[in-house]
Structure 1
Amino acid sequence: MDKVFKALADQTRRYLLDRLHEHNGQTLGELCRRLEMTRQSATQHLAVLEAANLVSTVRRGREKLHYLNPVPLNEIQERWIDKFERPRLRALSLVKQQAEKAEEAMADKPTFVYVIYIESTPEKVWHALTDADLTAEYWGHSNVSDWQVGSPWEHQRTDGSGTADAVGTVVESSPPTRLVTTWAAPDADATAEPSRVTFDIQPHGDIVRLTVTHENLADEAERTAVAGGWAAVLSNLKSLIETGSPLPQQPWLVPR
């Protein structure tokens, strides 16, 4: 094992193993053509690899062919990696596969993006998006949460009933520039993938560029519905921040 670690410690010897992995059974001349070194230096490196049993050789006439022997590398993996890391690596691999499946599923569903410019600061826009009393003024619902990652949030009616018409989880919270939440109906199937809303708040001088991205929508009909809803809510938000009052008429009640 010591000879194996010593052999692997040198970059040139690792390069030789890589080349044999790509194309096994090469002669010294073929290997030297890939290296900027003399045949004598390459021979010395190959001798170290042979001593570690990482390379074996076979004579074919006057030629000496070099072959990669993966057995010592497999022994290192079994001795130093597998028994310590296998459960964790399997768990990480499972997480990666699930994340990739979720991304593929979301990629197949409609996404709505809306951009609006507001004369304000990122801090004020963030406050308007997360303060329950302010959301009640321009949204007709109170968004209630502590806005910490992993916390639940509710889109509660303002009639005092405490009824939530939408619920979700805070996925990302980076005040005052980015907020990501999941959205679902309170009675939605627990196994169904919820939609996700991202608020990106970017300052541009004396104004703010607010981008709302609503992903993983069920179909085009739902995309059309949320498009009208977001346009109305964000217009009301802009009016409240810039003038101190929401629009004189609730925009989501205006016939389209």
Structure 2
Amino acid sequence: MSLPPPPGPDGLDAAFKALADPTRRLLLDRLREQNGRTLRELCESLAMTRQSATQHLDLLVRANLVVVVRRGRERLHYLNPAPIHEIEERWISGFDRPRLRTISVVKHLAEEQAMSAGPGSVPSYVYVTYIRADAQQVWSALTSADLTARYWGHANVSDWREGSRWEHVRTDGSGVADVVGRVLSADPPTRLVITFGEEGTDAAEPRPSVVTFLVEPYQDIVRLTVTHENLPDAKALGDVSHGWPAVLANLKSLLETGEALPQRPWEMAPKEA
């Protein structure tokens, strides 16, 4: 399996090279307008042949500027702002540190991130991060009540079998579950699919959102992809866009250093426009 390299100096070289081409910048603009597009949709919007579009998209993927998510037989393309954030942090934030403090305080806050408000089964939010760990360690971090309590502030409790209930339980001893759901699919240690909120008995009630964790091992690292779909509105998208990077930054810190971040990253206020 071949994975794109994590962000770093070589990745920035690839990002600059990719951004130098006007056609590739146009592809990124089209994904900014509507994320989660197929190759066919991108070709239609640009009057471009599939071969040309594929070559340009492959370069954007290698530069970490585009993330590809498979849905059945389709490959959906998402804009990934992480390299742009890294460029901003390296060359711009020093000149405007106060305004960009939210980005720089959490280490690698958004290593890879792509989001969309598209309808249907297209993921509403996609986040990818690289972790120096093995697949079993990442799986345990996602499913262990003790470990989730350390980096999330809630214990995720379940037997993690398909169809089982799971609960996001406070760690204050109250036993209160702030989120509940069902395990839709569990294939340890590589794939876990859960509902995020139980579906009500009233047919008029909205379906719960669905979260998918995909764990892909590669040599000494793991690529963890989180998709959160069926979000009800823009506010929910904004909430998960702030929450998931913070939670996963804490998970990454715990697995790589043995300690969670010194402050709760999700309590940081989002950067004002």
TM-score relative to the length of structure 1? 0.56
SS of 1:193's equivalent in the other structure is coil
Q: Which residue is equivalent to 2:139?
A: 126
Q: Which residue is equivalent to 1:17?
A: none
CA gap 1:186/1:247 in 2 versus in 1, 3 angstroms: farther
Q: In the aligned structure 2, how far is the partner of 1:159 from the partner of 1:175?
A: 29
Q: In the aligned structure 2, how far is the partner of 1:226 from the partner of 1:121?
A: 26
Cα deviation, residue 218, structure 1: 0.4
Aligned match of 1:196 in 210, 214, 221?
210
Q: Which residue is equivalent to 1:175?
A: 188
Q: Which residue is equivalent to 1:216?
A: 230
Q: Which runs of 5+ in 2 are unaligned?
A: 1-117
SS of 2:212's equivalent in the other structure is strand
Listed as ranges, the matches of 1:100-179 within 5 Å are 107=120, 111-179=124-192
* CA deviation vs aligned residue, 1:46-82 (integer Å, no higher than 9, x gap): xxxxxxxxxxxxxxxxxxxxxxxxxxxxxxxxxxxxx
One-letter amino acid of the structure 1 residue matched with residue 214 of structure 2: D
SS of 1:107's equivalent in the other structure is coil
Q: In the aligned structure 2, how far is the partner of 1:159 from the partner of 1:130?
A: 19
One-letter amino acid of the structure 2 residue matched with residue 240 of structure 1: L
Cα deviation, residue 255, structure 1: 1.9
8 Å CA contact retained: 1:178, 1:198: yes
More helix by share: 1
CA gap 1:117/1:233 in 2 versus in 1, 3 angstroms: same
CA gap 1:133/1:235 in 2 versus in 1, 3 angstroms: same
Q: In the aligned structure 2, how far is the partner of 1:189 from the partner of 1:153?
A: 21
Greater Rg by CA = 1
Q: How many residues are treated as equivalent by the alignment?
A: 152
One-letter amino acid of the structure 2 residue matched with residue 215 of structure 1: E
CA gap 1:126/1:217 in 2 versus in 1, 3 angstroms: same
Listed as ranges, the matches of 1:77-92 within 5 Å are none
Cα deviation, residue 189, structure 1: 6.0
Q: In the aligned structure 1, how far is the partner of 2:197 from the partner of 2:140?
A: 23
Query: Are 1:253 and 2:267 an aligned pair?
Result: yes
Q: In the aligned structure 1, how far is the partner of 2:120 from the partner of 2:165?
A: 25
Q: In the aligned structure 1, how far is the partner of 2:199 from the partner of 2:229?
A: 18
* CA deviation vs aligned residue, 1:200-250 (integer Å, no higher than 9, x gap): 000111000000000000012211110110000000000000000000110
Q: In the aligned structure 1, how far is the partner of 2:139 from the partner of 2:121?
A: 30
Cα deviation, residue 108, structure 1: 7.0
* CA deviation vs aligned residue, 1:176-209 (integer Å, no higher than 9, x gap): 0000000116989674211000000001110000
Q: Which residue is equivalent to 1:235?
A: 249
Listed as ranges, the matches of 1:29-48 within 5 Å are none
CA gap 1:106/1:154 in 2 versus in 1, 3 angstroms: farther
CA root-mean-square deviation: 2.1
CA gap 1:212/1:108 in 2 versus in 1, 3 angstroms: closer
CA gap 1:174/1:106 in 2 versus in 1, 3 angstroms: farther
8 Å CA contact retained: 2:199, 2:206: no
Q: In the aligned structure 2, how far is the partner of 1:147 from the partner of 1:106?
A: 28
Q: In the aligned structure 2, how far is the partner of 1:192 from the partner of 1:198?
A: 19
* CA deviation vs aligned residue, 1:94-131 (integer Å, no higher than 9, x gap): xxxxxxxxxxx961786100000000000000000000
Q: Runs in 1 of length 4+ with deviation above 3 angstroms? A: 185-191
